[in-house]
């Protein structure tokens, strides 16, 4: 698959930063995204920040995708896409550090951006690249537990088109075979469809 952000003459690495808390599958999300990209023939890399990953502690993970081998190992400072798995981090951690005006922003929340107190920041972003998705609620519906990572990856596929939903689903099934995998795929598919519907409506909420 030709990367959607790469031209015939310029290859640009796509970098994703994921913020969440221990126990929410933050590291797994980056790993699954990396596998999804690899399945499409791209080079990919996933790794977490070092430090505590105890339950509830802030955790950051990273994923890079490129058409060429990736030699960088540093944390991602200026992400092309930012995924926030836990909205309580918005006013506790500087999750928006280094986020450019043309970046994608994906938030796990059923609240409005104004209610979250970030409307002013989001105003400088392209509204077609911003989505708030109730990933924890979708996970609760399909998994019985509010683990948002798979749903957010489905939403990421719908928002960015960097990887296909089918590749995300395959990565999930590889990692979680059987009923657990299918339930995660169902959550990812529901989030993808929600983002796709909102894209047709022209909404960024």
Question: How large a percentage of the chain has pLDDT more than 90?
Answer: 79
In degrees and rounded to multiples of 5, residue 152 shows phi and psi of -65, -35
CB 188 within 8 Å of CB 165: yes
pLDDT for the residue 8 = 45
In degrees and rounded to multiples of 5, residue 18 shows phi and psi of -120, 125
Q: Is the per-residue pLDDT at 11 higher than 80?
A: no
Picking from 4, 3, 10, the residue whose alpha carbon sits closest to that of residue 42 is 3
* Dihedral angle, C-alpha 139, 122, 48, 164, nearest 10 °: 60
Q: Is the per-residue pLDDT at 186 higher than 90?
A: yes
Domain boundaries, the chain: 14-201
pLDDT for the residue 147 = 94
Higher pLDDT, 11 or 87: 87
- C-alpha to C-alpha distance for 134 and 189, rounded to whole angstroms: 13
Residue with tokens 């519907």: 197
At the fourth CATH level, the homologous superfamily of domain 14-201 is: Pyruvate-ferredoxin oxidoreductase, PFOR, domain III (3.40.920.10)
Segment 138-163 shows an average pLDDT of 97
């Amino acid at each position: 698959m030709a990367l959607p952000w790469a031209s015939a003459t310029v290859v640009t690495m796509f970098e994703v930063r994921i913020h969440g808390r221990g126990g929410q599958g933050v590291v797994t999300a980056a790993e699954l995204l990396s596998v999804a990209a690899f399945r499409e023939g791209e080079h990919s890399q996933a790794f977490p920040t070092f430090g505590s990953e105890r339950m509830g502690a802030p955790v950051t993970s990273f994923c890079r995708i490129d058409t060429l081998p990736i030699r960088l190992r540093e944390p991602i400072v200026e992400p092309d896409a930012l995924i926030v798995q836990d909205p309580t981090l918005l006013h506790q951690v500087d999750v928006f550090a280094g986020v450019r005006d043309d970046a994608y922003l994906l938030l796990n929340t059923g609240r409005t951006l104004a209610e979250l107190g970030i409307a002013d920041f989001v105003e400088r972003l392209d509204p077609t690249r911003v989505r708030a998705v109730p990933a924890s609620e979708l996970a609760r519906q399909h998994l019985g537990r509010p683990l948002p990572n798979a749903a957010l990856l489905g939403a990421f596929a719908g928002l960015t088109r960097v990887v296909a939903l089918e590749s995300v689903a395959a990565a999930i099934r590889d990692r979680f075979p059987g009923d657990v995998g299918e339930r995660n795929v169902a959550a990812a598919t529901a989030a993808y469809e929600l983002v796709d519907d909102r894209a047709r409506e022209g909404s960024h909420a």
